[in-house]
Structure 1
Amino acid sequence: MCAFRPANPLINAPADGQTLDTLEGTIERITFHNAENGYTVARLLPPGARDVITILGNFSNPVVGESLVCYGTWTHHPQWGRQMQVARYEVVRPATAFAIEKYLGSGMIKGIGPVMAKRIVDKFGEEALDIIEHKPQKLRQIHGIGDKKLDRIKQAWQDQREVKNIMLFLQSHGVSPAYAVKIYKTYGSKAIEVVEKNPYQLAADIYGIGFKSADKIARALGIAEDDPRRIQAGVVYVLNEAVETGGNAYLTEDELTRKANEILGMEDIAPAIDALAFSGRLVLEPAEFLGQTETAIYPPSLYTTERNLAERLLRLLSQPIEPASPAKFDAWLTALVEKRRQPLSDEQREAVKLALTSRFTILTGGPGTGKTTTTNTIVAAFEALKKNVLLASPTGRAAKRLAEVTQRDARTVHRLLEFDPEQRGFKHNAENPLECDVLIVDECSMLDMVLTYSLLKAVPDGSQVVFVGDVDQLPSVGPGNVLRDLIDSGRAPVARLTQVFRQAAQSLIITNAHAINAGRFPQLPPPSAFKDCAWLDAEEAEEVADKVIAVVAVSLPKRGYPPGDIQVLTPMQRGSAGAAFLNQRLQEVLNPPADDRPEVQRGSRLFRVGDRVMQMTNNYDKGVYNGDIGVVAAINHEDDTLAVHFTDAQGSTEVTYDFADMDELTLAYSCSIHKCIAAEERVHTRDRGLVAIKDLQAGDYVYTGEHVAKPVLDKIATGRKPVLRITTRMGYRIDVSQDHPLLASDGGPPQFVTAKEVKEGIHLCLSRHVVDPQVPILLPRVSSELGRQTLHLPTHLDEDLAWFLGATVGDGSYRDMKDGTVDFTNQDQEVLCKYRAVLEGYNLRVCTSRPVTRSAIRLRVVSKAFRDWLCRLGLGYSTANDKRIPEIIFQASALVKGAFLRGLFDTDGGASGNSNTCRLITSSFSLAREVQALLLSLGIVSGIARWMERAYCVGVSGPSLPEFAERVGFTVGYKRERLHSFVQISLRRGKANVDTVPFSPHLIAEASECLRQHFGNSRGIKGKGLYANGNCRIGAIFQKVRLFGSPLTYWDINALFGHLQQIGASIPASLSETANRRYLYDRVVCVERLSEETEMYDIEVEGIHSFVANGFICHNSQGSEYPVVVLALHTQHYMLLQRNLLYTALTRARKFAVLIGPQRAIALAVKKQSDIHRHTRLKERLQGTL
Structure 2
Amino acid sequence: MSGKCLSGETLVFTERGIGRLRDLAPPDAPLNAFAPIDVCVQTREGLQRATQFYSGGEQPTIRLTTRLGFTLEGTPDHKVWTRREDGTEGWTRLGDLRQGDWVALARGFECWGNQTELPTFDPPSLRFPPLREGNRVRVKVAALREWDCGSPCLQGEPKGGGQKTFIHPREQECKVPTHLTPDLAYWLGLLIGDGTITYRNAIVFSTKDPFLAEQFCELSERLFGYTPTHKANGKDYSISSTYLRRWLHEIGLDYATAATKRTPRCILCAPRECVVAYLQGLFDTDGYVARKYGNVFLTTASRQLALETQMLLLNLGIVASLRTKTLQKGSYYDLGIHGEDAIKFHQTVGFRLAQKQQRASLASEVRHPNKVGIPHLAPLLKVIHQRIVSSRTKRKSLKSCKAVESLFYTYIPNGRNPSYATLGHLIRYCHENQIDCHELDALVLQGYLYDPIIRLEPSRAVVYDLNIEPDHNYIAQGFISHNSTYIRQNALIVLMAHIGSFVPAERAEIGLVDRIFTRVGARDELATGQSTFMVEMTETANILNNATPRSLVILDEIGRGTSTYDGLAIAWAVAEYLHAIGCKTLFATHYHYLNELANRLEGVANYRVAVKEQGDRIVWLHKVLPGGTDRSYGVHVARMAGVPPEVVQRAEQILREFERRGVQNATQPPASDAPTVRTKKLQLTLFEAEAHPVLEALRALDITTLSPVEALLKLDELKRKLEE
Under TM normalisation by the shorter chain, which class is it?
0.5 to 0.7
Alignment of 1:282-681 (within 5 A): 675-681=4-10
Partner of 1:1084: 453
Counterparts of 2:81 and 2:351 in 1: how far apart (Å)?
34
Q: Deviations along 1:515-542, whole A, 9 cap, x unmatched?
A: xxxxxxxxxxxxxxxxxxxxxxxxxxxx
Partner of 2:117: 778
**1:787 to 1:1089, Cα distance in 2 relative to 1, 3 A:** closer
Q: Answer yes or no: is the 8 Å Cα contact 1:768–1:936 preserved in 2.
A: yes
Q: 1:930 aligns with which of 308, 325, 331?
A: 308
**1:836 to 1:879, Cα distance in 2 relative to 1, 3 A:** same
Q: Deviations along 1:655-712, whole A, 9 cap, x unmatched?
A: xxxxxxxxxxxxxxxxxxx921111101122343344255156321112234x21111
Determine helix, strand or coil for the equivalent of 1:804: helix
Q: Which has the higher contact order (CA 8 A, sep 6+)?
A: 2
**1:688 to 1:1129, Cα distance in 2 relative to 1, 3 A:** farther
**1:676 to 1:787, Cα distance in 2 relative to 1, 3 A:** closer
Partner of 2:422: 1052
* Cα shift at 1:765: 0.8
Query: Which has the larger Rg?
Result: 2
TM-score by length of 2: 0.58
Matched, 1:760 2:99: yes
Counterparts of 2:243 and 2:504 in 1: how far apart (Å)?
49
Determine helix, strand or coil for the equivalent of 2:414: coil
* Cα shift at 1:1025: 4.8
* Cα shift at 1:1012: 4.8
Determine helix, strand or coil for the equivalent of 1:739: coil
* Cα shift at 1:750: 2.3
* Cα shift at 1:833: 1.7
**1:1127 to 1:746, Cα distance in 2 relative to 1, 3 A:** closer
Matched, 1:863 2:241: yes
Counterparts of 1:787 and 1:754 in 2: how far apart (Å)?
55
One-letter code aligned to 1:1051: A
Partner of 2:75: 737
Q: 1:791 aligns with which of 145, 153, 174?
A: 174
* Cα shift at 1:1128: 6.4
Determine helix, strand or coil for the equivalent of 2:54: strand
Partner of 1:689: 18
Matched, 1:746 2:84: yes
Q: 1:962 aligns with which of 323, 333, 343?
A: 343
Counterparts of 1:1053 and 1:1155 in 2: how far apart (Å)?
49
* Cα shift at 1:905: 0.7
Counterparts of 1:766 and 1:844 in 2: how far apart (Å)?
44
Counterparts of 1:871 and 1:947 in 2: how far apart (Å)?
30
Q: Deviations along 1:535-559, whole A, 9 cap, x unmatched?
A: xxxxxxxxxxxxxxxxxxxxxxxxx
Q: How many equivalent pairs are there?
A: 457
Counterparts of 1:948 and 1:834 in 2: how far apart (Å)?
33
Runs of 4+ with deviation above 4 angstroms:
784-790, 1128-1131, 1135-1143, 1145-1152
Partner of 1:888: 266
* Cα shift at 1:915: 6.1
Determine helix, strand or coil for the equivalent of 1:794: coil
Q: 1:710 aligns with which of 32, 41, 48?
A: 48
Counterparts of 1:772 and 1:828 in 2: how far apart (Å)?
34
Partner of 2:291: 913
* Cα shift at 1:920: 1.1
Partner of 2:377: 1000
Determine helix, strand or coil for the equivalent of 2:193: helix
Partner of 2:538: none
Q: Answer yes or no: is the 8 Å Cα contact 1:701–1:712 preserved in 2.
A: yes
* Cα shift at 1:809: 0.7
**1:764 to 1:804, Cα distance in 2 relative to 1, 3 A:** same
* Cα shift at 1:1010: 4.1
Q: Deviations along 1:4-45, whole A, 9 cap, x unmatched?
A: xxxxxxxxxxxxxxxxxxxxxxxxxxxxxxxxxxxxxxxxxx
One-letter code aligned to 1:1039: Y
Q: Answer yes or no: is the 8 Å Cα contact 1:910–1:918 preserved in 2.
A: yes
Counterparts of 2:443 and 2:510 in 1: how far apart (Å)?
36
Counterparts of 1:1147 and 1:1035 in 2: how far apart (Å)?
55
Counterparts of 1:900 and 1:806 in 2: how far apart (Å)?
5
* Cα shift at 1:807: 0.9
**1:689 to 1:930, Cα distance in 2 relative to 1, 3 A:** closer
One-letter code aligned to 1:676: C
- CA RMSD after TM alignment: 3.6
Counterparts of 1:1142 and 1:844 in 2: how far apart (Å)?
73
**1:755 to 1:774, Cα distance in 2 relative to 1, 3 A:** closer
Counterparts of 1:713 and 1:1002 in 2: how far apart (Å)?
40
Q: Deviations along 1:1085-1124, whole A, 9 cap, x unmatched?
A: 110112xx321112121122211101111111xxxxxxxx
Partner of 2:193: 810
Counterparts of 1:1136 and 1:700 in 2: how far apart (Å)?
30
Alignment of 1:4-83 (within 5 A): none
Partner of 1:952: 333
Counterparts of 1:1089 and 1:1146 in 2: how far apart (Å)?
37
* Cα shift at 1:933: 2.0
Q: 1:1034 aligns with which of 390, 404, 407?
A: 404
Partner of 2:366: 988
Matched, 1:1101 2:463: no
Partner of 2:482: 1115
Partner of 1:1024: 396
Counterparts of 2:417 and 2:83 in 1: how far apart (Å)?
13
Q: Answer yes or no: is the 8 Å Cα contact 1:821–1:862 preserved in 2.
A: yes
Determine helix, strand or coil for the equivalent of 1:846: coil
Counterparts of 1:1038 and 1:843 in 2: how far apart (Å)?
62
Matched, 1:720 2:58: yes
One-letter code aligned to 2:466: I
Counterparts of 2:435 and 2:17 in 1: how far apart (Å)?
42
Counterparts of 2:244 and 2:260 in 1: how far apart (Å)?
21
One-letter code aligned to 1:738: P
Q: Deviations along 1:852-881, whole A, 9 cap, x unmatched?
A: 3xxx53211111111111001111111112
Counterparts of 2:509 and 2:177 in 1: how far apart (Å)?
53
* Cα shift at 1:849: 2.4
Partner of 1:903: 281
**1:1063 to 1:871, Cα distance in 2 relative to 1, 3 A:** same
* Cα shift at 1:738: 1.1
Partner of 1:835: 216
Q: Deviations along 1:428-466, whole A, 9 cap, x unmatched?
A: xxxxxxxxxxxxxxxxxxxxxxxxxxxxxxxxxxxxxxx
Q: Deviations along 1:309-346, whole A, 9 cap, x unmatched?
A: xxxxxxxxxxxxxxxxxxxxxxxxxxxxxxxxxxxxxx
* Cα shift at 1:1063: 2.5
Partner of 1:122: none
**1:781 to 1:721, Cα distance in 2 relative to 1, 3 A:** same
Counterparts of 1:690 and 1:1063 in 2: how far apart (Å)?
47
Counterparts of 1:678 and 1:964 in 2: how far apart (Å)?
30
**1:1155 to 1:880, Cα distance in 2 relative to 1, 3 A:** same
Counterparts of 1:1005 and 1:816 in 2: how far apart (Å)?
63
Partner of 1:100: none
TM-score by length of 1: 0.36
Q: Answer yes or no: is the 8 Å Cα contact 2:229–2:239 preserved in 1.
A: no
Determine helix, strand or coil for the equivalent of 1:921: strand
Q: Answer yes or no: is the 8 Å Cα contact 2:554–2:587 preserved in 1.
A: no
**1:989 to 1:739, Cα distance in 2 relative to 1, 3 A:** same
Determine helix, strand or coil for the equivalent of 1:689: strand
Q: Deviations along 1:113-134, whole A, 9 cap, x unmatched?
A: xxxxxxxxxxxxxxxxxxxxxx
Q: Answer yes or no: is the 8 Å Cα contact 2:187–2:281 preserved in 1.
A: yes
**1:700 to 1:860, Cα distance in 2 relative to 1, 3 A:** same
Counterparts of 1:881 and 1:1041 in 2: how far apart (Å)?
43
Q: Deviations along 1:907-958, whole A, 9 cap, x unmatched?
A: 1111121464211111122222222222212211111223461322111111
* Cα shift at 1:767: 0.9
* Cα shift at 1:1038: 2.1
**1:896 to 1:1068, Cα distance in 2 relative to 1, 3 A:** same
